[in-house]
Structure 1
């Protein structure tokens, strides 16, 4: 028994020391904390400006019309805020719809029982909040002036509800119904990467570890082999996604009442062509980049254990953009959001989020899509090159620079 404990301690200490001494372990272990520290610092700096922007919405100045059946709103205060009284609600709503007026507030006879109706021009999900902020601020200021007690005013206005409707190009803006469909591409991206990433990594490692790569390459071109693997993995991913979704769909269609599933109103969803096409292209571009990187790692590393030290930090890059989720919605121009939008490993998730929430402009979308496909194709070409030279490197990690030197010597 004592000998067994001694052997166990020897094995544990040997494996522990050998693992932590590896350069790859140090890099993989420190990479995520360092990245997170940098991200948190940038998010902290950006959140200060976002908070200022949110506070500034209360003091936003824009031209609006209003009607007041309650008699609470004070005309002088409304005028200072940029408001003009109207007794024709229908005309005021039409003016907002056709773009000749930015907003219209309709205060009911009893705001504590009926919601305040807000109509405004769609200027983005976050910026649209300025309408409610100003409408609420005007109501509170007018009520406080008449009541004379800030605490009583706050208690009275706390129960007031606001019902907002925005217009874009003469039509009611999609709102949350237009956000959900493009975000489905983000869900598909995560599902496909979670299901397939390990298979992508092992697609080139398996043959190397089984020592059959040379035989395969005597009959197949490396480009053909890698391309075939990627296409087959994509097909496998589609099958897996369909298999996972099938029970959910069947349960919702045939057993919704028995399983007490919520009744979803799918008619509220709006499938706008622009965001949907952009989402599909971002999905394919992101898939290309991550596939190329994983296949390249498999071509460089001699074993799956060695590849695992890089695999973890790489997958973490998919989730890091969610630390900036609030900034993506509220302040897409923030430095950290811009970095994540254009850095190839964070671009798919960040751009898909921004596309869903309508903060990704067509120009930005075009740049990111082009970048993802160009970088993805270049990485895939590099993966093929590395696989060609690393196919017989069973015992050690492949030197990328060394493969290019060999290529130059062979060319001479």
Structure 2
């Protein structure tokens, strides 16, 4: 009977969530927003690249004065330039509109400012003058350097490769962070997007005055567990929906959006990090879900539960105020406090785990702590829901709900 009740609750709650237009609106807002952002970035990058290319390769009719002796007259002439002896007259011609531009190269361009004068176009088009002046100077300088290697060095075309070691073994670096940090991303997505639904999962029945009827046919434990399982399944649906636009953007528009190439062969999947991260994610999710379900069982309305709900949401962001300390000094006292305090532990521990700052024994102990607390909170949530199912107008007293002689008179279990 209990298994049947649990299966019934899961199918009902999961189906009800997917049938709500509000669920799909909230779920699709982020992917649609991402696609809009990707489209804008794509258009912006294309326009910027076209504008930069046009400015760099623009052909102008300009005068120039070279006090440095660097400018190559043949190259300048090819780009549309001609030497000018009187700088004052050249500037006056630009002001009068009879000359398009004038570049005044100082004796030492590396230390002194190149003066660029041009006929006004618009706030974006005026950049062409500086682009042409700099391109002329750089091209002329490169022609005076005999060694291609020196030209490459001056242009910044230098490539390096770094190898670091930890405990006598080559460190994974950023390739070892990417996979375990996805647990943190999943935790935030699930909690932020399903937090309100976790809270309302028990409040809805109370506000609709139907909980006492439900509890006459369904075991409270099966009801709460069924809601939690359905929330987890709903979270998986949302994460799949979120992943679709990211996968499409990477697969179809990676070059246009300047997304770095992700070489999966270079990723490092450390079994310890992946297992500990999964346990912390499951424990943290169960703890927050049980806490929010318990909060919904205690409070008569969502408005009354709002302040505590907000405080719980704030707790998952507090660790980011010390993120540099978490990464660089994981043994610091404040980091240890955040690691072991249950409601800041998931984020702090997942960060430490991703960056290799969480010892195995701490990962095991912390996972056990979160899972144990989650079980305790879920049992309390069941008791609070059973006792508070008929409390529609006031906050349930936790003390009364957990006192045996008070709970014994509650609705009978089937």
What TM-score comes out, normalization by structure 2 length? 0.58
Distance in 2 separating the partners of 1:166 and 1:256: 29
Q: 1 CA distance for matches of 2:186 and 2:307?
A: 26
Matches within 5 A, 1:362-377: 362-377=360-375
- The corresponding residue for 1:381 is 379
Which residue of the partner structure matches residue 190 of structure 1?
Answer: 188
Q: Which residue of 2 aligns with 1:353?
A: 351
| Residue 404 (structure 1) shift | 2.4
User: What is aligned with 1:225?
Assistant: 223
Q: 1:213 Cα shift?
A: 0.5
Structure-1 residue corresponding to 2:315: 317
How far the C-alpha of 1:368 sits from its partner, in A, is 0.4
Calculate the aligned-residue CA RMSD, in Å. 2.0
Deviation at 1:251, TM superposition (A): 2.5
User: How far off is 1:299 after superposition?
Assistant: 0.3
Alignment of 1:165-176 (within 5 A): 165-168=163-166, 171-176=169-174
Structure 1 segment 9-24 matched on structure 2, within 5 A = none
The equivalences for 1:6-405 within 5 A come to 164-168=162-166, 171-405=169-403
CA distance in 1, matches of 2:159, 2:241: 43
* Residue segments in structure 1 that go unaligned for 5+ positions in a row: 1-159
Structure 2, unpaired ranges of 5+: 1-157, 410-414
- 1:3 is aligned to none
Deviates more, 1:161-170 or 1:293-302: 161-170
Deviation by residue 1:50-104 (Cα, 9 ceiling, x = unmatched): xxxxxxxxxxxxxxxxxxxxxxxxxxxxxxxxxxxxxxxxxxxxxxxxxxxxxxx
Give, in angstroms, the shift of residue 168 of structure 1: 4.8
Q: Provide Cα deviations, 1:139-176, integer angstroms capped at 9, x if missing partner.
A: xxxxxxxxxxxxxxxxxxxxx99864223576532111
Partner of 2:399, secondary structure, is helix
CA shift for structure 1 position 330: 1.7
1:179 offset after TM fit, Å?
1.2
- Report how far residue 214 of structure 1 moved: 0.8
Tell me, in whole angstroms, the C-alpha distance in 1 between the residues paired with 2:237 and 2:198: 16
Question: Could you list the per-position Cα deviations for residues 299-326 of structure 1 after superposition, in whole angstroms to 9, with x for gaps in the alignment?
Answer: 0000010011111111000000111111
Distance 1:409 1:345, change over 3 A: closer
The answer to whether the Cα contact below 8 Å between 2:400 and 2:406 also exists between their aligned partners in 1 is no
Distance 2:190 2:222 in 1: 23
Aligned residues, how many?
252
Q: Which residue of 1 aligns with 2:412?
A: none
| In 2: Cα distance, 1:265 partner to 1:305 partner | 48
> Could you tell me how far 1:265 is from its partner in structure 2?
3.1
Structure 1 partner of 2:10? none
> Larger C-alpha radius of gyration, 1 or 2?
2
Q: Cα–Cα, structure 1 residues 316 and 271, in superposed 2: closer, same or farther, change >3 Å?
A: same
Name the SS for the 1:165 alignment partner.
Answer: coil
Query: What is the alpha-carbon distance in structure 2 between the residues aligned to residue 182 and residue 236 of structure 1?
Result: 22
